[in-house]
C-alpha cells in the first residue's frame, strides 16, 4: 500500500472536475518513455520458531528496516516511527502485519526489473542472516491466525483495520495475511489506456491462475488454489471487483473519476497525521461538507491519496496496476511484468490479446473471476472452454510482444526468457498451488511447516 511521506499543505484546492481528471491525463507518455514498475511483498518470519516478528522487538521489523541504511536506503518517518525506506531502487515499505514490500523504481526493461529484484532480495537476505529472519514467498500465511500477527504503526492501517469489519468478512485477512506481486505500466493516450485496461482486466483471472500460490490456511488446505484472490471477494464490494463499466461504450478518464467519487473514503492526511474519514464521501468533501473536516475542501494530494484506496483487479492512477497475482519466488516476480509487458507494450500483441477477449460478456467475465480462485486453470471461459484452453495462446502473444520490443541484456538475450516459469506451468498443467498440495499430501505427510524450507527466498 502507498507510503505517504509529507503533508502537502501548499497543494492547490480542487475546484474543478478537470483537476480530478488531471492525474490520469498526466500519465500519458510517448512510447519511448513507457516504464515498468514492479511491486512484490513477502512474509517475514523468525528462523528460530517461525513467528511473525513485531515492529519493536529486538531483531524485528524496525531493526530490519534500519539495517537497510547499510545499503544506502534512507528512513521515511511517520509519527516518530520508521515505516519505510527510500532509495534508488524505489521504496521498501511495510504492509499491515509486517509483510515487506519493494515498490520498485520505474525501469526501461525487464532485465533492469529482475536485477532490481535481485539486489533487493540479496540485501534483505543478508540482513536476515544477521537478525535471524527469513522471508516466505507465498500469497497467504500458511499457518498464522489473525491473532498471531503483529500490527505495524502506520496511521492509515489503524483506520482501515477499524473499518474493514464493517464492510466485509475478509478485509482483515487481506490486510494481515496476504502477499502479492503487482506490475505498473504506462499508456500513451486515453484510447490506449482504455484498450490496455480492458485487456488486462479481462485476462486478470489468467494471471491469478498462473500465479496461484495460496492453498493453505492455518496449517491445512483451504479448498482454494488462490485463497488470496478469494479473500478479495468479500473485502469491500464498494472498492473491489471487475469494474463492468470499463467495458462499456464511452469509457475513459471521466467515467473512472465518477467511479472513484463513489468509492467511500478512508482518511485525510493533515500535519503528518491520518484523520479518520472511513465511509465518508469524496463528493461531500468537494462541497466542503466532509464530517471529518467540516468546511474544508480537498487538496490535490487528497485526491491522489483517494485514488490509492480502491482495490479493483486493475487500478488506474497515472498508470495501470495489474493486481491479480499471488506472492511467489524471484522467478515469478520477474515473470509477472514479463507477461503484461509482452501483452500490453506492443500494439500487435495488444490487438491480438483484445481479439481473444473482446466477445466475452460481462456475466461470463464475472463467473470467470469468481471461479478462478478455486479452479485455477480449469475456470470456465465465457462462451465455453477453460482458461487452460487459452493460456498457451496468451503466452505466445506475450512472447511475440517481448520479441518485438527487442530489449537486449549484455549477453544479447531479449526479454522472453522471463516467461519460462509460466511456460512450465502451462505445459505441465499444474499451478504452483497444486504442486504445494502434492507435497502436502505426499512427502510432507500433512506438515505445512515444511513450506518454510521450500518457499523461502
CA quadruple 160, 100, 106, 72: dihedral positive or negative? positive
The domain in which residue 354 lies consists of 17-263+310-455
- What's the angle, vertex CA 250, arms to CA 249 and CA 255, rounded to 5? 120
Mean pLDDT of 173-180: 98
pLDDT beyond 80 at 8: no
- pLDDT at residue 5, as a whole number: 54
pLDDT beyond 90 at 2: no
For the chain, give percent helix, strand, coil, nearest 5: 50, 20, 35
Cβ contact 265:302 at 8 Å: no
pLDDT beyond 60 at 1: no
Residue 287 covered by a domain: no
Per-residue pLDDT tens over the stretch 388-431: 999 999 999 999 999 999 999 999 999 999 999 999 999 999 99
Fill in the DSSP letter of residue 381: P
Cell, residue 211: 500465479
CA quadruple 54, 55, 57, 60: dihedral positive or negative? positive
Cα separation, 214 vs 142, in Å, equals 7
Going through 261-405 in order, the beta strands assigned E by DSSP cover: 267-270, 273-276, 311-312, 314-316, 320-326
Per-residue exposure over 31-67, b if at least 16 CB sit within 10 Å of its own CB, e if not = eeebbbbbbbbbbbbbeeebebbbbeeebbbbbbbeb
Residue 32 covered by a domain: yes
pLDDT beyond 70 at 9: no
Residue 272 covered by a domain: no
Cα separation, 11 vs 453, in Å, equals 49
Mean pLDDT of 103-117: 98
Cβ contact 399:349 at 8 Å: no
Residue 3 covered by a domain: no
Q: What is the pTM for the complete model shown?
A: 0.97
Mean pLDDT of 421-444: 98
CATH number at residue 94: 3.30.590.20
Residue 289 covered by a domain: no
How many CB atoms are closer than 10 A to CB 30?
9
Q: How many CA atoms lie within 13 A of 175 on its CB side?
A: 27
Residue 294 covered by a domain: no
Instruction: Please give the tally of structural domains in the chain.
Output: 1
Cβ contact 377:389 at 8 Å: no
CA quadruple 329, 330, 333, 337: dihedral positive or negative? negative
Per-residue pLDDT tens over the stretch 343-358: 999 999 999 999 999 9
pLDDT beyond 60 at 6: no
Residue 7 covered by a domain: no
Cα separation, 440 vs 221, in Å, equals 9
pLDDT beyond 70 at 448: yes
Structure confidence at residue 10 as a pLDDT band (50, 70, 90): confident
Q: Where are the alpha helices (DSSP H) in 329-386?
A: 330-344, 347-357, 362-375
C-alpha distances in Å from residue 24, one per residue of 6, 73, 252, 263, 307: 22, 30, 10, 17, 10
- pLDDT at residue 88, as a whole number: 97
How many CB atoms are closer than 10 A to CB 276?
18
Per-residue pLDDT tens over the stretch 309-355: 999 999 999 999 999 999 999 999 999 999 999 999 999 999 999 99
pLDDT beyond 70 at 3: no
Residue 410 covered by a domain: yes
Per this entry, what is the length of the chain? 457
Structure confidence at residue 27 as a pLDDT band (50, 70, 90): very high
pLDDT beyond 70 at 261: yes
Amino acid at each position: 500500500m502507498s507510503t505517504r511521506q509529507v503533508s502537502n499543505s501548499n497543494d492547490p484546492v480542487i475546484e474543478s472536475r478537470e483537476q480530478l481528471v488531471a492525474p490520469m491525463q498526466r500519465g500519458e507518455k510517448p512510447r519511448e518513455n513507457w516504464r515498468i514498475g514492479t511491486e512484490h511483498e513477502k512474509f517475514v518470519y523468525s528462523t528460530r520458531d517461525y513467528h511473525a516478528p513485531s515492529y519493536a522487538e529486538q531483531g524485528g521489523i524496525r531493526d530490519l528496516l534500519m539495517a537497510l541504511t547499510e545499503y544506502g536506503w534512507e528512513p521515511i518517518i511517520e509519527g516518530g516511527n520508521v515505516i519505510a525506506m527510500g532509495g534508488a531502487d524505489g521504496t521498501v515499505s511495510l504492509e499491515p502485519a509486517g509483510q515487506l514490500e519493494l515498490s520498485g523504481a520505474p525501469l526501461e526493461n525487464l532485465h533492469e526489473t529482475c536485477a532490481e529484484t535481485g539486489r533487493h532480495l540479496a540485501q534483505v537476505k543478508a540482513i536476515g542472516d544477521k537478525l535471524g529472519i527469513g522471508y516466505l514467498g507465498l500469497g497467504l500465511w500458511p499457518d498464522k491466525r489473525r491473532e498471531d500477527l503483529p500490527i505495524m504503526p502506520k496511521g492509515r492501517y489503524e483506520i482501515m483495520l477499524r473499518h474493514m469489519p464493517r464492510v466485509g468478512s475478509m478485509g482483515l485477512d487481506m490486510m494481515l495475511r496476504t502477499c502479492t506481486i503487482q506490475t505498473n505500466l504506462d499508456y500513451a493516450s486515453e484510447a490506449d489506456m482504455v484498450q490496455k485496461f480492458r485487456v488486462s482486466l479481462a485476462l486478470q483471472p489468467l494471471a491469478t491462475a498462473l500465479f496461484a500460490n495460496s492453498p493453505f490456511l492455518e496449517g491445512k488446505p483451504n479448498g482454494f488454489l488462490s485463497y488470496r484472490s478469494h479473500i478479495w471477494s468479500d473485502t469491500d464490494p464498494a472498492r473491489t471487483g471487475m469494474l463492468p463499466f470499463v467495458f462499456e461504450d464511452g469509457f475513459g478518464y471521466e467515467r473512472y473519476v465518477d467511479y472513484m467519487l463513489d468509492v467511500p473514503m478512508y482518511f485525510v492526511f493533515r500535519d503528518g497525521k491520518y484523520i479518520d474519514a472511513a465511509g465518508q464521501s469524496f463528493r461531500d468533501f468537494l462541497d466542503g461538507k466532509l464530517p471529518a473536516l467540516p468546511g474544508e475542501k480537498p487538496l490535490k494530494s487528497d485526491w491522489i491519496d483517494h485514488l490509492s484506496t480502491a482495490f479493483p483487479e486493475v487500478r488506474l492512477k497515472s498508470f495501470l496496476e495489474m493486481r491479480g497475482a499471488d506472492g511467489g519466488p524471484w522467478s515469478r516476480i520477474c515473470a509477472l511484468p514479463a507477461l503484461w509487458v509482452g501483452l500490453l507494450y506492443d500494439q500487435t500483441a495488444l490487438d491480438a490479446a483484445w481479439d481473444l477477449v473482446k466477445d466475452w460478456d460481462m456475466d461470463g467475465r464475472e463467473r470467470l473471476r469468481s471461479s478462478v480462485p478455486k479452479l485455477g486453470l480449469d475456470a470456465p471461459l465465457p462462451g465455453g472452454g477453460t482458461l487452460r484452453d487459452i493460456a498457451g495462446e496468451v503466452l505466445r502473444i506475450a512472447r511475440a510482444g517481448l520479441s518485438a520490443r527487442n530489449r537486449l541484456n549484455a549477453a544479447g538475450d531479449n526479454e522472453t526468457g522471463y516467461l519460462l516459469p509460466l511456460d512450465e506451468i502451462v505445459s505441465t498443467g499444474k499451478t504452483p498451488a497444486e504442486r504445494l498440495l502434492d507435497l502436502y499430501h505426499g512427502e510432507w505427510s500433512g506438515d505445512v511447516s515444511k513450506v518454510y524450507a521450500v518457499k523461502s527466498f
